[in-house]
Amino acid sequence: MAKEKGKKEKSKHPLRDNIEVIVFAVAMSLGLKVFALEAYQIPTGSMQPTLMGTQLRDGQGAVNDRVLVDKFSYLVRDPERWEVVVFRYPLIVTQNYVKRLVGLPGEELEIRHGDLWARPLGSEEDMAILQKPWNVQEHLWKRVLPRPGSNPFQWNGWRISGDHIPAGDGPLQLTGKSTVSLRTPVRDEYRDGYPDAIFSSIPVQGSGANSHRAVSDLRLTCTATASANANPLVIQLDAGPFPITLSLLSDGAKLALPNGITESIHFATKANEAIDIDLAFWDHQVRLILTSDSQETVYSSSLSLEANGSPRNSVSFNTDGGWSLNPASLSRDIHYLPPFSGATPRFEIAEGHYFMMGDNTQNSLDGRDWEARVFRFDPPLADGSSEVRGDHLQHGSDPFYDNPRWSANREFLTHRDEWGNLHQFSRADLTHGQDLRVSVPTVPRHYILGKALAVFLPIPPFAPVWRIGWVH
């Protein structure tokens, strides 16, 4: 008898079929986890504010980002500079870390005046500054002004002098010779760039408690409108030791750069037409965007400048009158700090290795300070150990996890090796052994697990702030 057309025949083994479906689903999910995508929770604040892992002050909860990690890309290509990567910590390979990749194989890397410099390993050529591309940099700016909680219509943090009409809930009117200038230099304050909702609740930790260095990488944005008889408006951005001057004229604009060159910018100032100004200097690069309803001009340049530092920076607006200004926004870049240990801030990166740093450079245990504690025994100990290597971690947030650590009676020293195994040495063992400390600043290629793609949690009410978006 022929089967009825279109009617699906029932399975003779429904239990087996269901088991097969479940096994297939589990296998697919495990395969995705191993080869494609995996979710990680951020436990610490080393990448803040890019990635958050912090207990807030005053019992206001915690923010621990959940990050989706792409594990497939690095199977078909090598990691690239500036990517945020997940990797095995080379001194405790059972722990995964997340940092920004800043140094490539075969390089000599140096931290100078808050910037990163490099040259080929073994070369005698001059160091070259490492320049972040704009698609990375635009997500790394840390807002300095206006401060969270301040009135967005007021020029808080600025000094206004000369002929002007104070701003109420509208623009500041510069009616005659006048100056608007920054009150204090921009420094690497720990909380710069954190979300407004949790800004005051972020605990200041690590070297952030006493790090107040003037920074040189700044971004200024504002809106200016000229009257019919406006005089030139001159914006002076002294990015540390690098002065930049933007002059808005009736027949165009001029941009004086810190290398001594003045560029003519094709942009005509029109009466009563608002101009959005976006001027940025970072990693010895300049980017200017002037935008109005009728025109837009984009200028960018990579400059050849010497490494230099300065204890100050400044920003000012100067005019003889005829302009109105909306309150400016000022941001700064990451200011990279040298090793906390006081070691020389220069690192050699062997082939097949990479150098990692946290965006929260004031409170990040990264390649600057990774150090191995190595115990060598000749002859070997009774258990056959001739060398035990693990991280040297002292005075951490959890004293129990310090490595190595003495017993309460100080008769035995316990040391956790790079594989997570615990070893116990007596005083007699240590008398006949070597105790060495070795810098381990880099990560082997095969320890890199994937690229951080996106933050997909937390969200209110599970956290006091929304944390959803791509990782840059």
State the DSSP code for 187.
Answer: B
Co-location of 92 and 72 in the same domain: yes
Q: What is the pLDDT of residue 461?
A: 84
Distance between CA 227 and CA 210 in Å, rounded?
A: 46
Q: What are phi and psi of 226, to 5 degrees?
A: -90, 145
User: Is residue 29, in this structure, part of any structural domain at all?
Assistant: no
CATH of the domain at 244: 2.60.120.200
Provide the residue range defining the domain that includes 355.
Answer: 40-135+338-366+444-470
Share of the chain above pLDDT 70, in %: 91
Q: Which residues of 103-134 are buried (b: 16+ CB within 10 A; e: fewer)?
A: bbbbbbbbbbbbbbbbeeeeeeeebebbbbee
The answer to whether residue 71 is catalytic is no
Compute the C-alpha angle 53/59/64, nearest 5°. Answer: 15
**Which pairs count as long-range contacts for 131-134, CB under 8 Å and 24+ apart, including other chains?**
131/282, 131/283, 131/284, 131/285, 131/302, 132/82, 132/282, 132/283, 133/82, 134/287, 134/300
Mean pLDDT of all residues belonging to the chain: 91
**Cβ atoms 341, 358 nearer than 8 A:** no
CATH of the domain at 417: 2.30.30
For the chain, counts of helices (H) and of strands (E): 4, 34
Residue with tokens 């920076």: 313
Expressed in angstroms, the distance from the first to the final Cα of the chain is 65
Co-location of 228 and 292 in the same domain: yes
Question: Out of 46, 216, 324, 331, which one is annotated catalytic?
Answer: 46
The answer to whether residue 341 is catalytic is no
User: Is residue 410, in this structure, part of any structural domain at all?
Assistant: yes
Co-location of 289 and 148 in the same domain: yes
**Cβ atoms 46, 358 nearer than 8 A:** yes
**Cβ atoms 468, 459 nearer than 8 A:** yes
Co-location of 235 and 359 in the same domain: no
Co-location of 188 and 308 in the same domain: yes
Co-location of 180 and 295 in the same domain: yes
User: Is residue 5, in this structure, part of any structural domain at all?
Assistant: no
User: Is residue 19, in this structure, part of any structural domain at all?
Assistant: no
Which of 347, 318, 358 lies closest to 163, judged by CA? 318
Co-location of 326 and 180 in the same domain: yes
The last residue of one of the domains, among 283, 308, 332, is: 332
Co-location of 280 and 196 in the same domain: yes
User: Is residue 50, in this structure, part of any structural domain at all?
Assistant: yes
Number of domains observed in the structure of the chain: 3
Co-location of 154 and 124 in the same domain: no
Question: Out of 5, 10, 73, 99, which one is annotated catalytic?
Answer: 99
Co-location of 103 and 174 in the same domain: no
Name, in order, each residue with C-beta under 8 angstroms of 442's C-beta and a sequence gap of 6 or more. 90, 103, 347, 349, 350, 353, 354, 355, 367
User: Is residue 393, in this structure, part of any structural domain at all?
Assistant: yes
Q: What is the mean pLDDT of residues 273-293?
A: 97
**Cβ atoms 104, 448 nearer than 8 A:** no
User: Is residue 30, in this structure, part of any structural domain at all?
Assistant: no
Residue 224 has pLDDT above 70, yes or no: yes
Q: What is the pLDDT of residue 29?
A: 42
**391-448 pLDDT, tens per residue?**
998 866 566 678 999 999 999 999 999 999 999 999 999 998 999 999 999 999 999 9
- What is the CB-side half-sphere exposure of residue 69 using CA atoms within 13 A? 25
Distance between CA 448 and CA 340 in Å, rounded?
A: 25
**86-111 pLDDT, tens per residue?**
999 999 999 999 999 999 999 999 99
Co-location of 421 and 460 in the same domain: no
Strand partners, 110: 117, 346
Co-location of 202 and 327 in the same domain: yes
Distance between CA 99 and CA 87 in Å, rounded?
A: 8
User: Is residue 130, in this structure, part of any structural domain at all?
Assistant: yes
Residue with tokens 């000229």: 226
Q: What is the pLDDT of residue 230?
A: 95
Distance between CA 289 and CA 349 in Å, rounded?
A: 37
Q: Please, which pLDDT band fits residue 15 given cuts at 50, 70 and 90?
A: low
Residue 202 has pLDDT above 60, yes or no: yes
